A and B are shown apart, each in its own frame.
Chain A
Amino acid sequence: MEAPPVSVLPITGGTINMMEYLLQGSVLDQALESLLHRLRGLCDNMEPETFADHELVYLLKGQQGNPFLLRARRSLSHPTVPWHLRYLGQPEVGDKSRHALVRNCVDVAASHSLPDFLNEMGFRMDHEFVAKGHIFRRGVLKVVVSKLSRILVPGNTENTEPLSLSYLVELSVLAPAGQDTMSEDMRSFAEQLKPLVHLEKIDPKRHM
Protein backbone atom coordinates (compact mmCIF):
# COMPACT_ATOMS: atom_id res chain seq x y z
CA MET A 1 0.00 0.00 0.00
CA GLU A 2 1.22 3.51 -0.47
CA ALA A 3 2.96 5.35 2.33
CA PRO A 4 0.65 6.55 5.08
CA PRO A 5 -0.70 10.06 4.64
CA VAL A 6 1.66 12.85 5.56
CA SER A 7 0.05 15.28 7.93
CA VAL A 8 1.38 18.78 7.78
CA LEU A 9 0.28 19.62 11.30
CA PRO A 10 3.10 19.36 13.82
CA ILE A 11 2.84 16.45 16.17
CA THR A 12 3.09 18.05 19.57
CA GLY A 13 2.63 14.95 21.64
CA GLY A 14 -0.99 14.21 21.06
CA THR A 15 -2.13 12.36 18.00
CA ILE A 16 -4.11 13.94 15.21
CA ASN A 17 -7.42 12.24 15.16
CA MET A 18 -7.87 11.17 11.56
CA MET A 19 -11.16 9.80 10.40
CA GLU A 20 -11.64 7.61 7.41
CA TYR A 21 -14.72 8.14 5.30
CA LEU A 22 -15.56 5.05 3.35
CA LEU A 23 -17.92 3.92 0.62
CA GLN A 24 -17.76 0.42 -0.76
CA GLY A 25 -19.09 -1.46 -3.72
CA SER A 26 -18.08 -4.16 -6.11
CA VAL A 27 -17.82 -4.72 -9.83
CA LEU A 28 -17.89 -7.99 -11.74
CA ASP A 29 -14.76 -9.06 -13.56
CA GLN A 30 -16.27 -8.53 -16.98
CA ALA A 31 -17.20 -4.94 -16.18
CA LEU A 32 -13.78 -4.11 -14.76
CA GLU A 33 -12.41 -2.62 -17.98
CA SER A 34 -15.23 -0.13 -18.37
CA LEU A 35 -14.91 0.86 -14.72
CA LEU A 36 -11.18 1.44 -15.13
CA HIS A 37 -11.80 3.55 -18.23
CA ARG A 38 -14.32 5.64 -16.40
CA LEU A 39 -12.07 6.09 -13.40
CA ARG A 40 -9.18 7.05 -15.63
CA GLY A 41 -11.35 9.78 -17.05
CA LEU A 42 -12.80 10.97 -13.77
CA CYS A 43 -9.70 10.88 -11.63
CA ASP A 44 -6.51 12.86 -11.66
CA ASN A 45 -4.28 12.36 -14.62
CA MET A 46 -1.52 10.06 -13.54
CA GLU A 47 0.06 6.82 -14.58
CA PRO A 48 -2.28 3.94 -13.75
CA GLU A 49 -1.01 2.57 -10.49
CA THR A 50 -1.33 -1.10 -9.69
CA PHE A 51 -0.55 -2.68 -6.39
CA ALA A 52 -0.22 -6.13 -4.88
CA ASP A 53 -0.48 -6.26 -1.11
CA HIS A 54 -0.52 -8.94 1.54
CA GLU A 55 -2.58 -7.99 4.55
CA LEU A 56 -2.49 -9.75 7.89
CA VAL A 57 -5.09 -8.98 10.50
CA TYR A 58 -4.02 -9.32 14.12
CA LEU A 59 -6.36 -9.71 17.06
CA LEU A 60 -5.76 -9.07 20.72
CA LYS A 61 -8.43 -10.76 22.77
CA GLY A 62 -9.23 -8.81 25.88
CA GLN A 63 -11.15 -9.76 28.99
CA GLN A 64 -14.05 -7.83 27.66
CA GLY A 65 -15.91 -8.97 24.62
CA ASN A 66 -14.43 -6.90 21.83
CA PRO A 67 -11.05 -7.93 20.55
CA PHE A 68 -8.63 -5.25 19.46
CA LEU A 69 -7.89 -5.42 15.77
CA LEU A 70 -4.78 -4.25 13.94
CA ARG A 71 -4.09 -4.58 10.22
CA ALA A 72 -0.56 -5.06 8.95
CA ARG A 73 0.01 -4.67 5.26
CA ARG A 74 3.06 -5.21 3.13
CA SER A 75 3.63 -4.75 -0.56
CA LEU A 76 4.29 -7.84 -2.64
CA SER A 77 5.46 -5.80 -5.60
CA HIS A 78 7.90 -3.70 -3.55
CA PRO A 79 9.31 -6.04 -0.93
CA THR A 80 11.66 -3.53 0.63
CA VAL A 81 9.03 -0.88 1.33
CA PRO A 82 8.13 -0.65 5.05
CA TRP A 83 5.08 -2.37 6.42
CA HIS A 84 1.95 -0.36 7.04
CA LEU A 85 0.12 -0.80 10.32
CA ARG A 86 -3.41 0.49 10.60
CA TYR A 87 -6.01 0.69 13.29
CA LEU A 88 -9.63 1.21 12.33
CA GLY A 89 -12.13 2.09 14.99
CA GLN A 90 -15.78 1.28 15.18
CA PRO A 91 -17.95 3.10 12.66
CA GLU A 92 -19.33 6.26 14.13
CA VAL A 93 -23.01 6.15 14.67
CA GLY A 94 -23.66 9.74 13.76
CA ASP A 95 -26.74 10.95 11.99
CA LYS A 96 -28.21 8.51 9.53
CA SER A 97 -28.09 11.09 6.78
CA ARG A 98 -24.34 10.99 6.57
CA HIS A 99 -23.57 9.25 3.35
CA ALA A 100 -20.30 7.58 4.15
CA LEU A 101 -19.07 5.21 6.82
CA VAL A 102 -16.92 7.20 9.24
CA ARG A 103 -14.45 5.60 11.55
CA ASN A 104 -11.34 6.55 13.44
CA CYS A 105 -8.15 5.65 11.64
CA VAL A 106 -4.54 5.55 12.76
CA ASP A 107 -1.79 4.71 10.26
CA VAL A 108 1.87 4.12 10.98
CA ALA A 109 4.75 2.64 9.09
CA ALA A 110 6.65 -0.24 10.57
CA SER A 111 9.78 -2.20 9.89
CA HIS A 112 9.90 -5.75 8.62
CA SER A 113 9.97 -7.19 12.10
CA LEU A 114 6.34 -6.19 12.58
CA PRO A 115 4.79 -9.69 12.63
CA ASP A 116 7.28 -10.87 15.24
CA PHE A 117 6.74 -7.75 17.28
CA LEU A 118 2.99 -8.14 17.26
CA ASN A 119 3.29 -11.74 18.26
CA GLU A 120 5.51 -10.76 21.18
CA MET A 121 2.96 -8.18 22.20
CA GLY A 122 0.32 -10.82 22.40
CA PHE A 123 -1.50 -10.35 19.16
CA ARG A 124 -2.54 -13.36 17.18
CA MET A 125 -2.95 -13.35 13.47
CA ASP A 126 -6.59 -13.87 12.76
CA HIS A 127 -6.68 -14.00 9.01
CA GLU A 128 -4.73 -12.86 6.01
CA PHE A 129 -5.44 -12.17 2.38
CA VAL A 130 -3.83 -10.84 -0.74
CA ALA A 131 -5.23 -7.79 -2.49
CA LYS A 132 -4.23 -6.90 -6.03
CA GLY A 133 -5.62 -4.11 -8.09
CA HIS A 134 -5.53 -0.49 -9.12
CA ILE A 135 -5.54 2.73 -7.23
CA PHE A 136 -6.80 6.09 -8.43
CA ARG A 137 -6.81 9.50 -6.85
CA ARG A 138 -8.98 12.57 -7.32
CA GLY A 139 -7.88 15.34 -5.05
CA VAL A 140 -8.17 13.82 -1.58
CA LEU A 141 -10.50 11.08 -2.73
CA LYS A 142 -8.88 7.71 -3.15
CA VAL A 143 -10.45 4.93 -5.20
CA VAL A 144 -9.09 1.42 -4.80
CA VAL A 145 -10.22 -1.38 -7.08
CA SER A 146 -8.89 -4.64 -5.73
CA LYS A 147 -9.26 -8.36 -6.14
CA LEU A 148 -9.16 -10.19 -2.82
CA SER A 149 -7.61 -13.63 -2.75
CA ARG A 150 -7.61 -16.22 -0.06
CA ILE A 151 -4.25 -17.60 1.02
CA LEU A 152 -4.43 -21.37 0.97
CA VAL A 153 -1.22 -22.14 2.78
CA PRO A 154 -0.43 -19.60 5.48
CA GLY A 155 2.61 -17.58 4.68
CA ASN A 156 2.62 -18.60 1.04
CA THR A 157 1.42 -15.68 -1.00
CA GLU A 158 1.96 -17.41 -4.31
CA ASN A 159 -0.74 -19.99 -3.76
CA THR A 160 -3.95 -17.99 -3.67
CA GLU A 161 -7.46 -18.34 -4.93
CA PRO A 162 -9.82 -15.43 -5.58
CA LEU A 163 -12.57 -14.96 -3.04
CA SER A 164 -15.23 -14.09 -5.60
CA LEU A 165 -15.72 -13.15 -9.22
CA SER A 166 -15.82 -9.48 -8.39
CA TYR A 167 -13.46 -6.71 -7.61
CA LEU A 168 -13.95 -4.68 -4.46
CA VAL A 169 -14.24 -0.95 -5.09
CA GLU A 170 -13.57 1.36 -2.20
CA LEU A 171 -13.81 5.13 -2.15
CA SER A 172 -12.12 6.63 0.87
CA VAL A 173 -10.95 9.92 2.25
CA LEU A 174 -8.74 10.53 5.24
CA ALA A 175 -9.59 13.74 6.98
CA PRO A 176 -9.15 15.22 10.43
CA ALA A 177 -12.07 14.76 12.75
CA GLY A 178 -14.88 17.22 12.43
CA GLN A 179 -14.84 17.79 8.67
CA ASP A 180 -18.19 16.62 7.52
CA THR A 181 -18.12 18.12 4.04
CA MET A 182 -16.32 15.07 2.70
CA SER A 183 -19.36 12.87 2.52
CA GLU A 184 -21.10 15.21 0.07
CA ASP A 185 -18.15 15.15 -2.32
CA MET A 186 -17.95 11.40 -2.01
CA ARG A 187 -21.61 10.99 -2.75
CA SER A 188 -21.42 13.11 -5.91
CA PHE A 189 -18.41 11.13 -7.08
CA ALA A 190 -20.23 7.89 -6.36
CA GLU A 191 -23.13 9.16 -8.47
CA GLN A 192 -20.80 9.46 -11.42
CA LEU A 193 -19.85 5.82 -11.18
CA LYS A 194 -23.42 4.60 -11.37
CA PRO A 195 -24.71 2.34 -12.90
CA LEU A 196 -21.42 0.50 -13.21
CA VAL A 197 -20.84 0.36 -9.47
CA HIS A 198 -23.10 1.19 -6.58
CA LEU A 199 -20.93 2.66 -3.89
CA GLU A 200 -22.70 2.76 -0.60
CA LYS A 201 -22.22 2.81 3.10
CA ILE A 202 -22.07 -0.81 4.16
CA ASP A 203 -21.98 -1.55 7.85
CA PRO A 204 -19.73 -4.57 8.32
CA LYS A 205 -21.58 -5.57 11.47
CA ARG A 206 -24.64 -6.38 9.43
CA HIS A 207 -22.88 -9.21 7.71
CA MET A 208 -21.57 -10.80 10.81
Chain B
Amino acid sequence: MQQREEKLLDASVESLISRVAHLKNALHSFIYKLENEYERLTWPSVLDNFALLSGQLNTINKLLRNEKTPSFRQQIIIPLLLSPDRDEELAKLTEQRVPVFSHEIVPDHLRTKPDPEVEEQEKQLSAEAARIGTEVAQKQIQTLNKLCSNLLEKLNNPRDDRDADSAAIRQNKPSFNPADTNALVAAVGFGKGLSKCRPPGPVAPGHTGQGPMMSGGPTLQQVTIGGGSGQQQGMGPGAPQQQGQPGKMPCNIKTNIKAASSMHPYNR
Protein backbone atom coordinates (compact mmCIF):
# COMPACT_ATOMS: atom_id res chain seq x y z
CA MET B 1 0.00 0.00 0.00
CA GLN B 2 2.69 2.38 1.02
CA GLN B 3 4.84 1.31 -1.87
CA ARG B 4 2.06 1.79 -4.35
CA GLU B 5 1.43 5.25 -3.07
CA GLU B 6 5.11 6.00 -3.14
CA LYS B 7 5.38 4.77 -6.70
CA LEU B 8 2.36 6.84 -7.71
CA LEU B 9 3.87 9.86 -6.04
CA ASP B 10 7.16 9.35 -7.82
CA ALA B 11 5.49 8.97 -11.19
CA SER B 12 3.34 12.04 -10.81
CA VAL B 13 6.28 14.10 -9.60
CA GLU B 14 8.26 12.96 -12.65
CA SER B 15 5.54 13.94 -15.06
CA LEU B 16 5.06 17.23 -13.24
CA ILE B 17 8.78 17.94 -13.53
CA SER B 18 8.75 17.25 -17.28
CA ARG B 19 5.71 19.46 -17.86
CA VAL B 20 7.25 22.27 -15.85
CA ALA B 21 10.46 21.85 -17.84
CA HIS B 22 8.50 22.33 -21.07
CA LEU B 23 6.89 25.43 -19.65
CA LYS B 24 10.25 26.75 -18.58
CA ASN B 25 11.69 26.24 -22.04
CA ALA B 26 8.76 28.00 -23.66
CA LEU B 27 9.12 30.94 -21.29
CA HIS B 28 12.85 31.04 -21.91
CA SER B 29 12.50 31.22 -25.69
CA PHE B 30 9.71 33.79 -25.41
CA ILE B 31 11.80 36.04 -23.18
CA TYR B 32 14.73 35.67 -25.55
CA LYS B 33 12.55 36.66 -28.46
CA LEU B 34 11.17 39.65 -26.62
CA GLU B 35 14.58 40.85 -25.60
CA ASN B 36 16.52 40.30 -28.80
CA GLU B 37 14.11 40.25 -31.70
CA TYR B 38 11.58 42.81 -30.59
CA GLU B 39 11.94 44.79 -33.79
CA ARG B 40 10.83 41.89 -35.92
CA LEU B 41 8.22 40.58 -33.54
CA THR B 42 4.62 40.82 -34.68
CA TRP B 43 1.62 40.84 -32.43
CA PRO B 44 0.23 37.54 -33.80
CA SER B 45 3.46 35.72 -32.93
CA VAL B 46 3.38 37.21 -29.42
CA LEU B 47 -0.17 35.93 -29.13
CA ASP B 48 1.01 32.52 -30.33
CA ASN B 49 3.61 32.41 -27.59
CA PHE B 50 1.06 33.33 -24.97
CA ALA B 51 -1.25 30.67 -26.30
CA LEU B 52 1.50 28.09 -26.02
CA LEU B 53 2.18 29.06 -22.41
CA SER B 54 -1.49 28.95 -21.61
CA GLY B 55 -1.78 25.48 -23.15
CA GLN B 56 1.11 24.19 -21.12
CA LEU B 57 -0.33 25.62 -17.91
CA ASN B 58 -3.58 23.90 -18.77
CA THR B 59 -1.89 20.52 -19.10
CA ILE B 60 -0.17 21.02 -15.77
CA ASN B 61 -3.52 21.82 -14.20
CA LYS B 62 -5.08 18.76 -15.76
CA LEU B 63 -2.26 16.64 -14.46
CA LEU B 64 -2.72 17.96 -10.97
CA ARG B 65 -6.46 17.36 -11.09
CA ASN B 66 -6.03 13.81 -12.28
CA GLU B 67 -7.45 11.20 -9.89
CA LYS B 68 -4.32 9.14 -10.10
CA THR B 69 -2.29 12.05 -8.77
CA PRO B 70 -1.94 11.89 -5.02
CA SER B 71 -2.70 15.05 -3.20
CA PHE B 72 0.51 17.00 -2.92
CA ARG B 73 -0.91 19.12 -0.15
CA GLN B 74 -0.50 16.30 2.27
CA GLN B 75 3.20 15.95 1.54
CA ILE B 76 5.65 17.84 3.65
CA ILE B 77 9.10 18.98 2.61
CA ILE B 78 11.54 19.62 5.38
CA PRO B 79 15.01 20.84 4.63
CA LEU B 80 17.30 18.53 6.49
CA LEU B 81 20.58 20.29 5.99
CA LEU B 82 21.24 23.93 5.23
CA SER B 83 24.79 24.92 4.48
CA PRO B 84 26.32 28.08 3.06
CA ASP B 85 28.70 25.96 1.00
CA ARG B 86 28.31 25.59 -2.69
CA ASP B 87 26.73 22.31 -3.67
CA GLU B 88 27.88 21.19 -7.11
CA GLU B 89 25.16 18.59 -7.61
CA LEU B 90 22.43 21.07 -6.81
CA ALA B 91 24.02 23.60 -9.09
CA LYS B 92 24.07 21.09 -11.94
CA LEU B 93 20.46 20.06 -11.30
CA THR B 94 19.18 23.60 -11.33
CA GLU B 95 21.38 24.79 -14.22
CA GLN B 96 23.45 27.10 -12.02
CA ARG B 97 20.41 28.94 -10.71
CA VAL B 98 20.60 27.55 -7.15
CA PRO B 99 24.26 26.96 -6.31
CA VAL B 100 23.85 27.05 -2.55
CA PHE B 101 21.15 25.44 -0.42
CA SER B 102 21.24 28.01 2.34
CA HIS B 103 19.01 30.09 4.56
CA GLU B 104 18.39 32.67 1.85
CA ILE B 105 16.86 30.43 -0.77
CA VAL B 106 14.67 28.33 1.54
CA PRO B 107 12.00 31.02 2.17
CA ASP B 108 11.64 31.57 -1.59
CA HIS B 109 11.75 28.02 -2.88
CA LEU B 110 9.93 26.17 -0.13
CA ARG B 111 7.24 28.83 0.36
CA THR B 112 3.69 27.63 0.94
CA LYS B 113 1.97 30.87 1.82
CA PRO B 114 1.90 33.98 -0.40
CA ASP B 115 4.29 36.87 0.18
CA PRO B 116 3.46 39.09 3.13
CA GLU B 117 2.63 42.03 0.85
CA VAL B 118 0.37 39.86 -1.24
CA GLU B 119 -1.26 38.51 1.90
CA GLU B 120 -1.90 42.06 3.08
CA GLN B 121 -3.55 42.98 -0.22
CA GLU B 122 -5.68 39.87 -0.20
CA LYS B 123 -6.86 40.63 3.30
CA GLN B 124 -7.82 44.15 2.28
CA LEU B 125 -9.73 42.90 -0.75
CA SER B 126 -11.69 40.33 1.25
CA ALA B 127 -12.50 42.97 3.90
CA GLU B 128 -13.75 45.27 1.09
CA ALA B 129 -15.85 42.51 -0.38
CA ALA B 130 -17.40 41.68 2.98
CA ARG B 131 -18.14 45.34 3.62
CA ILE B 132 -20.38 46.03 0.63
CA GLY B 133 -22.81 43.28 1.44
CA THR B 134 -24.11 40.39 -0.61
CA GLU B 135 -26.98 42.07 -2.48
CA VAL B 136 -24.84 44.90 -3.78
CA ALA B 137 -22.20 42.39 -4.77
CA GLN B 138 -24.77 40.30 -6.60
CA LYS B 139 -26.07 43.33 -8.48
CA GLN B 140 -22.53 44.28 -9.51
CA ILE B 141 -21.90 40.76 -10.73
CA GLN B 142 -25.06 40.79 -12.79
CA THR B 143 -24.26 44.16 -14.39
CA LEU B 144 -20.80 42.98 -15.32
CA ASN B 145 -22.18 39.80 -16.85
CA LYS B 146 -24.75 41.73 -18.83
CA LEU B 147 -22.17 44.15 -20.19
CA CYS B 148 -19.86 41.33 -21.21
CA SER B 149 -22.59 39.40 -22.96
CA ASN B 150 -23.77 42.52 -24.83
CA LEU B 151 -20.26 43.22 -26.03
CA LEU B 152 -19.75 39.61 -27.07
CA GLU B 153 -22.99 39.62 -28.99
CA LYS B 154 -22.06 42.81 -30.83
CA LEU B 155 -18.66 41.43 -31.72
CA ASN B 156 -19.88 38.04 -32.81
CA ASN B 157 -22.89 38.98 -34.87
CA PRO B 158 -22.24 41.67 -37.46
CA ARG B 159 -25.72 42.98 -37.82
CA ASP B 160 -26.88 43.66 -41.34
CA ASP B 161 -29.07 46.61 -40.40
CA ARG B 162 -26.01 48.32 -38.97
CA ASP B 163 -24.36 48.12 -42.36
CA ALA B 164 -27.50 49.36 -44.08
CA ASP B 165 -27.61 52.41 -41.81
CA SER B 166 -24.05 53.43 -42.61
CA ALA B 167 -24.61 52.78 -46.31
CA ALA B 168 -27.67 55.04 -46.29
CA ILE B 169 -25.71 57.82 -44.62
CA ARG B 170 -22.99 57.50 -47.20
CA GLN B 171 -25.47 57.70 -50.04
CA ASN B 172 -26.93 60.90 -48.71
CA LYS B 173 -23.64 62.71 -49.12
CA PRO B 174 -22.08 61.78 -52.43
CA SER B 175 -18.57 63.00 -52.72
CA PHE B 176 -18.30 63.13 -56.47
CA ASN B 177 -20.46 63.96 -59.42
CA PRO B 178 -19.99 61.81 -62.54
CA ALA B 179 -21.20 64.61 -64.78
CA ASP B 180 -18.47 66.82 -63.37
CA THR B 181 -15.93 64.08 -63.97
CA ASN B 182 -16.89 63.90 -67.62
CA ALA B 183 -16.85 67.66 -68.01
CA LEU B 184 -13.41 67.95 -66.44
CA VAL B 185 -11.94 65.09 -68.42
CA ALA B 186 -13.31 66.58 -71.62
CA ALA B 187 -11.85 69.97 -70.69
CA VAL B 188 -8.41 68.54 -70.03
CA GLY B 189 -8.55 66.17 -72.97
CA PHE B 190 -9.45 68.53 -75.74
CA GLY B 191 -10.59 71.80 -74.28
CA LYS B 192 -14.33 71.31 -74.28
CA GLY B 193 -15.90 74.24 -72.54
CA LEU B 194 -12.67 76.21 -72.65
CA SER B 195 -11.88 79.03 -74.95
CA LYS B 196 -12.11 77.08 -78.21
CA CYS B 197 -15.68 78.11 -78.71
CA ARG B 198 -15.84 81.19 -76.59
CA PRO B 199 -18.52 80.87 -73.97
CA PRO B 200 -21.09 83.62 -74.38
CA GLY B 201 -21.34 86.33 -71.82
CA PRO B 202 -18.22 86.82 -69.81
CA VAL B 203 -15.98 87.08 -72.86
CA ALA B 204 -15.68 90.47 -74.56
CA PRO B 205 -17.41 90.24 -77.91
CA GLY B 206 -14.71 92.40 -79.41
CA HIS B 207 -12.60 89.36 -80.01
CA THR B 208 -14.90 87.75 -82.48
CA GLY B 209 -14.99 90.91 -84.47
CA GLN B 210 -11.28 90.93 -85.00
CA GLY B 211 -10.36 91.35 -88.58
CA PRO B 212 -7.76 89.25 -90.27
CA MET B 213 -4.29 90.23 -89.21
CA MET B 214 -1.27 90.45 -91.39
CA SER B 215 0.95 87.45 -91.16
CA GLY B 216 4.02 88.50 -89.32
CA GLY B 217 7.04 88.89 -91.50
CA PRO B 218 7.91 87.54 -94.88
CA THR B 219 9.63 84.52 -93.41
CA LEU B 220 6.33 82.92 -92.52
CA GLN B 221 5.22 82.76 -96.07
CA GLN B 222 8.07 80.53 -97.00
CA VAL B 223 7.62 78.13 -94.18
CA THR B 224 5.78 75.11 -95.44
CA ILE B 225 2.50 75.23 -93.73
CA GLY B 226 0.67 72.00 -94.19
CA GLY B 227 -2.44 72.25 -96.22
CA GLY B 228 -2.55 75.97 -96.49
CA SER B 229 -5.21 76.49 -93.94
CA GLY B 230 -7.07 79.68 -93.96
CA GLN B 231 -6.29 80.50 -90.39
CA GLN B 232 -4.70 83.83 -89.79
CA GLN B 233 -1.59 84.23 -87.74
CA GLY B 234 -1.21 86.92 -85.17
CA MET B 235 2.03 87.79 -83.48
CA GLY B 236 1.23 89.78 -80.39
CA PRO B 237 3.88 90.83 -77.93
CA GLY B 238 2.25 88.93 -75.15
CA ALA B 239 0.23 85.80 -75.28
CA PRO B 240 -0.82 84.72 -78.74
CA GLN B 241 -4.15 86.07 -79.89
CA GLN B 242 -6.75 83.71 -81.14
CA GLN B 243 -9.54 83.85 -83.65
CA GLY B 244 -12.99 83.78 -82.24
CA GLN B 245 -14.59 81.53 -84.78
CA PRO B 246 -13.77 77.89 -85.03
CA GLY B 247 -12.99 76.48 -88.41
CA LYS B 248 -11.59 78.21 -91.44
CA MET B 249 -11.99 81.82 -92.35
CA PRO B 250 -11.95 83.06 -95.89
CA CYS B 251 -8.40 83.97 -96.77
CA ASN B 252 -8.13 87.68 -97.54
CA ILE B 253 -4.37 87.75 -97.89
CA LYS B 254 -2.71 86.38 -100.90
CA THR B 255 0.14 84.42 -99.47
CA ASN B 256 2.52 82.16 -101.20
CA ILE B 257 1.88 78.92 -99.43
CA LYS B 258 3.52 75.83 -100.75
CA ALA B 259 2.13 72.36 -100.38
CA ALA B 260 3.53 70.66 -97.33
CA SER B 261 5.81 67.72 -97.34
CA SER B 262 4.84 64.90 -95.09
CA MET B 263 7.85 65.40 -92.89
CA HIS B 264 7.94 68.58 -90.89
CA PRO B 265 11.23 70.32 -91.70
CA TYR B 266 12.13 70.68 -88.09
CA ASN B 267 11.77 66.98 -87.38
CA ARG B 268 14.95 65.09 -86.70
Contacts and interface: CB of A to CB of B under 8 A. Distances in A.
A121 B202 contact: no
A35 B170 CA distance: 15
Contacts of B226: 60-63, 122
A156 to B, nearest CB: 8
Contacts, number: 135
Q: Is the interface of B mostly helix, strand, loop or mixed?
A: loop
Interface residues of A, number: 49
B72 to A, nearest CB: 58
Interface string A25-66: 111101100110000000000000000000011001111000
Contacts of A61: 226-227, 229, 231
Contacts of A195: 170, 175
B188 interface: yes
Contacts of B203: 152-153
Contact of B240 (A24, A31, A115): A115
Contacts of A9: none
A155 interface: yes
A126 B240 contact: no
A27 B202 contact: no
A110 to B, nearest CB: 14
B239 A202 contact: no
B174 A28 contact: yes
Interface of A: 24-28, 30-31, 34-35, 56-57, 60-63, 69, 115-116, 119-122, 124-129, 148, 150-155, 161, 163-166, 168, 195-198, 202, 204, 207-208
13 contacts: A26-B184, A27-B175, A27-B176, A28-B177, A31-B175, A31-B176, A63-B260, A148-B187, A152-B202, A155-B239, A195-B175, A204-B190, A207-B189
